[in-house]
Amino acid sequence: MRQHPPVERVASDPVAFPRAALAAGAPRPAVEAVALLSAMLAYGAVPLFMRVIRGLLDEAAAAAPREAAGTAFLRAISQPGGPRFSLGYRLSTAAEISRFAGAIGTVISRHGGLWEAFAPGWRRAGTVRAGLITLHEALWQALGTRPAAAPGGLRHLLPDPAGGGCCKRWLMFLRWMVRPDDGVDLGLWPEVPPAALLIPLDRHLSRLARALDLTRRATDDWKTAEEVTAALRQLDPLDPVRYDFALCHLAIAGDCTHGRHPERCAPCPLADVCQPAPPRTRQGKP
């Protein structure tokens, strides 16, 4: 697992979109904008959210065909009155996604970039959570409303990093920004050391973490992300989330079914240390 990342998997991962913007020479704020949109829409079935993100970026590119990938998106979301995308996705309507994207554009116009909205909290408290809280506040200020007064589809795109949830999409966005460019992550925020990151926990990662005895906690929340990250620090104190991409893609590639197909565990590099929970019956009992 230390030999990863499997760079060839990038094309089937949402980081492909900010990577394409970076490769096209888009400025750092434009890459940040594409990254935050991609991270926050990255839930549910991978092919579905990949299609929606690609569609939104294509709509922006169609409005500015001479612009590079990423630059066209930043232009679209920074226009007066905000963008008007036509695509919704699961919990969020097209209008809610447009408002969210417009807020990213407003924050970048006001602060110079998403890093500039994250940095005050980070520098004050020295934790990524504090940085995310200031960035989250800046985005809601740009929206001109409070989360409690906003529709659920908009709140879903901007979860509260102070709320105690595991904030998988925020922490994945941070991993992309902070970890050095290794062909997967982007290394755009070098002031934050990778040691400060937390693991972006989702259902697959948390099941795997329990099978690998990285946590005994039953809930998938911020404390569990801290506990799993602390366990990964035993393996790499300077870069504990370096394993995230490879572990995620065990599920995305269909290689890991959490023990439901034991024949897939035999060639797995984690087989010696992994003890997947027995499959649950319809009654929820092992």
- What residues line the site for ligand SF4 (CB under 6 A)? 208, 211, 250, 255-256, 258-259, 264-265, 268, 270-271, 274, 276
* Closest separation in Å from C-beta 6 to ligand SF4: 14
Of 131 and 276, which has the nearer Cβ to ligand SF4?
A: 276
* Closest separation in Å from C-beta 217 to ligand SF4: 19
Question: At CA 242, angle to CA 241 and CA 246, rounded to 5?
Answer: 105
Does residue 69 contact residue 26 with C-beta atoms inside 8 Å?
A: yes
**Partners of 92 in the beta sheet?**
89
Of 117 and 250, which has the nearer Cβ to ligand SF4?
A: 250
Does residue 32 contact residue 17 with C-beta atoms inside 8 Å?
A: no
Of the chain, the end-to-end C-alpha distance in Å amounts to: 29
* Closest separation in Å from C-beta 261 to ligand SF4: 8
Measure the CA–CA gap between 238 and 197, rounded to whole angstroms: 10
Of 106 and 215, which has the nearer Cβ to ligand SF4?
A: 215
- Encoded tokens for 262: 């034991």
Burial (CB count <10 Å: 0-12, 13-18, 19+), residue 98: buried
Burial (CB count <10 Å: 0-12, 13-18, 19+), residue 226: middle
* Closest separation in Å from C-beta 10 to ligand SF4: 21
SS3 (DSSP) at 89 = strand
- Encoded tokens for 230: 């602390």
Measure the CA–CA gap between 198 and 166, rounded to whole angstroms: 10
* Closest separation in Å from C-beta 200 to ligand SF4: 17
* Closest separation in Å from C-beta 231 to ligand SF4: 15
Of 112 and 262, which has the nearer Cβ to ligand SF4?
A: 262
* Closest separation in Å from C-beta 5 to ligand SF4: 16
Does residue 232 contact residue 208 with C-beta atoms inside 8 Å?
A: no
CA atoms within 13 A on the CB side of 179: 23
Measure the CA–CA gap between 259 and 265, rounded to whole angstroms: 7
